[in-house]
Chains A and B, each alone.
Chain A
Amino acid sequence: MIIILTEGTNLGTKSRDDGRAFDELRPLTIEAGVLERADGSAYLEFGGNKVLVAVYGPKESFIRRFQRPDRAYIRCRYNMAPFSVDDRKRPGPDRRSVEISKITAEALQPAILLEKYPRSVIEIFIEVLEAEGGTRCAGITAASVALADAGIPMRDMVVACASGKVNDEVVLDLSEVEDKDGQADVPVAIMPRSGKITLLQSDGSLTPEEFEKAVDLAVEGCQSISKVQKEALKNRYGE
C-alpha cells in the first residue's frame, strides 16, 4: 500500500532541502497487523523512517507497584535498532529513548479506555528500524494503529506530526537534515476527532506568533496522517 499525501500548495514558499512545499508531508505508508505473535502491530514508513510497533495486552500486571486498582497502565518502550542511524547506536536504552518512551505513553493514554482493565498492563513496543527525523511522531502514529489492531477500546486514535522553523520559515514535518540545521522543532500529537493536543514539545527559538503557526501547521499535518491511519485499518479489516 503506497499513499502519497497532499502535493502541497507551493504558494510563495522558499524551496526546502528535499524540494517539498512548506506544508508538504513526506510520503507515508502504514500497514496494520504485520506480526504473528503480538496482539496488535503496525509497520510505518514515513520518508526515510521505518518504524515497527507491537502491542501486547491488556494482560495481568506482574509488577505490583505499577498495578492500579481502578485501571490499566501503559508500559511503553521506544527503542532504536543499532543499524538505524549513521553511526552504530549501542543497544539498550539511553536518556533520549527513556524520555521518548515516557512522553509516548502519555500521548497515547488519553485515547485508551484504561478504566476497563483494572490491575492490567498494556505494553507498547516501538522499534525504530531506520531513522530519518521525526521518529517519535512516527512511533506514536504507528502505535495508535497497533493499539487498534490489538482490539483495545479507544475514544479516538492518536496521531503525531512535527513542524518547525527552517531558514526563518515555519514548515511542516522536518526531515533529518532540517531537524539538525533548523531553528526549532515542535512535535505535536492530537486526537483527531476532538483536535485536543496530547503531546507537545518545542526545541529551539520561536516567537509566540511563529509558535502558533507551527502548532496550526502540525495539527493540519496530523489530520492528513489520520486519514492514512484509517486507511491502514480499513485495508486490514474492511470498511
Chain B
Amino acid sequence: MNIVPEITRKSITDLINNQERADGRSLNDYREISLETDVISKAEGSARVKIGNTQIVVGTKSQLGDPFPDTPKVGVIITNSELLPMAAPEFESGPPDEHSVELSRVVDRCIRESRMVDLEKLCIIEGKKVRMVFIDLHILDYDGNLFDAAVLGAVAALLTTKIPKITLEGSEIVIDAENKESLPIRDKALMCTFAKIGDNMILDPSIDEEEILSARLSIGMTESGKICAMQKGGATPLTKEEIMSAVKLTEEKTKVLMEYLP
C-alpha cells in the first residue's frame, strides 16, 4: 500500500461526501467497461477485460488429472492469478502474495459456489480421472477494482471455452482434439465491489479511491439473483444497513454487467 498524501485523501473524501467523484462518475457508476473474448488462440477460452484502465487477460486450459479423494465424482477448477510486476510499480515478481491469493480465491469462490460449471460432467472415470480446468488471471494494468474485472473476465473465458471431446472406449480414454465442445454451463455469476469512503459506499473504486478506502465489500451474484460469494476487506466495520443496500445495488448492477458477456 502506498502512502497517500492527506490532501489527496481529503479531496477525494470531500467529493464523495458531496455525492461526486474525481472522474465525474456518480457514486453508483462503473467506469467504462470493455470485454473481448477469444483473444488468445492457444488458450481454450480467453478474454481481455478492461474496467477503466484496469486491464486483465484471462485464459483457460483443461487437462486430465486425478480427482480429490473426498470428491471422486467431480471435476476440478483451479483459479490462479498473477499480479504481474508490469501492472503497478508496487507489485513485485515472485510467488503470489496475499493480495494475489485473495483475488484468485474470491474469483474461484464466485465461480464454484454459483455452481456455474456442472463439475460432475467433467468426471471421466469416477475416482480415477477427471478434467481439470485452469483459469489463469494475468493482471496487466492495475487501476483499481481487480475483483469485478477478474470475475467478468473469468466468466467470459469460461463461457467461450472449448475443450476436446473425451470418450471412453472400454478402459481407454480417447481424447478427440479435433472435435471441441463447450463446458457444461448452468448459470452465470458476476461480482460488484463497493468501497466505503467517508460516509458513503461507492461502486467500482478506482486506484486512488482504493488507496484511501476504509472498508471494501465484494458481492458475487448469479444471473438468478442468488448471492454466491462475498468478501469484506479493510480494517473498518460496516453496518448491516450499508451491507444490505450494497446487496440491493448488486442485484441491479450485475444485470447490467451480464450484458457484456458473450
Are B86 and A83 in contact, with the CB atoms below 8 A? no
Q: In the complex the two chains form, what is the Cα distance from A36 to B32 in whole Å?
A: 14
Residues of B within 8 A of A129 (CB): 40, 57, 138
Q: A123 CB to closest chain B CB, in angstroms? A: 7
Q: In the complex the two chains form, what is the Cα distance from A96 to B61 in whole Å?
A: 22
Are B140 and A88 in contact, with the CB atoms below 8 A? no
B93 within 8 A of A: yes
Output the residue of A41, A48, A91 with the most chain B CB within 10 A.
A91
Q: A47 CB to closest chain B CB, in angstroms? A: 11
B240 within 8 A of A: no
Output the residue of A35, A59, A86, A131 with the most chain B CB within 10 A.
A35
- Nearest CB in chain B to that of A56: its residue: B89
Tell me how many residues of B have a C-beta within 8 Å of chain A: 29
If A82-B134, A129-B40 touch, whether A37 touches B142 (CB-CB below 8 Å) is yes
Q: In the complex the two chains form, what is the Cα distance from A83 to B135 in whole Å?
A: 9
If A36-B53, A77-B93, A81-B138 touch, whether A127 touches B84 (CB-CB below 8 Å) is yes
Say which one of B21-29, B41-49, B116-124, B223-231 lies at the interface with A.
Answer: B41-49
Near A by CB (< 8 A), chain B positions 59-93 give 59-61, 63, 80, 82, 84-89, 93
Near B by CB (< 8 A), chain A positions 113-169 give 123, 125, 127, 129-132
A184 within 8 A of B: no
Near B by CB (< 8 A), chain A positions 165-182 give none
Are B87 and A131 in contact, with the CB atoms below 8 A? no
Are A127 and B86 in contact, with the CB atoms below 8 A? yes
Are A85 and B42 in contact, with the CB atoms below 8 A? yes
Residues of A within 8 A of B60 (CB): 83
If A84-B40, A88-B63, A130-B42 touch, whether A37 touches B88 (CB-CB below 8 Å) is yes
> A37 is contacted by which of B46, B93, B143 (Cβ under 8 Å)?
B143
Residues of A within 8 A of B46 (CB): 83
Instruction: Give me 15 other A-B pairs in contact (C-beta within 8 A), A127-B140, A129-B138 excluded.
Output: A35-B141, A36-B55, A37-B88, A37-B89, A52-B140, A56-B89, A82-B59, A82-B80, A83-B136, A84-B42, A87-B61, A92-B95, A123-B85, A130-B41, A130-B43
Please list the 10 inter-chain residue pairs (A to B) with the smallest Cβ-Cβ separation, ordered nearest first: A83-B59, A54-B86, A36-B53, A125-B86, A83-B43, A88-B61, A82-B136, A35-B141, A37-B88, A130-B40
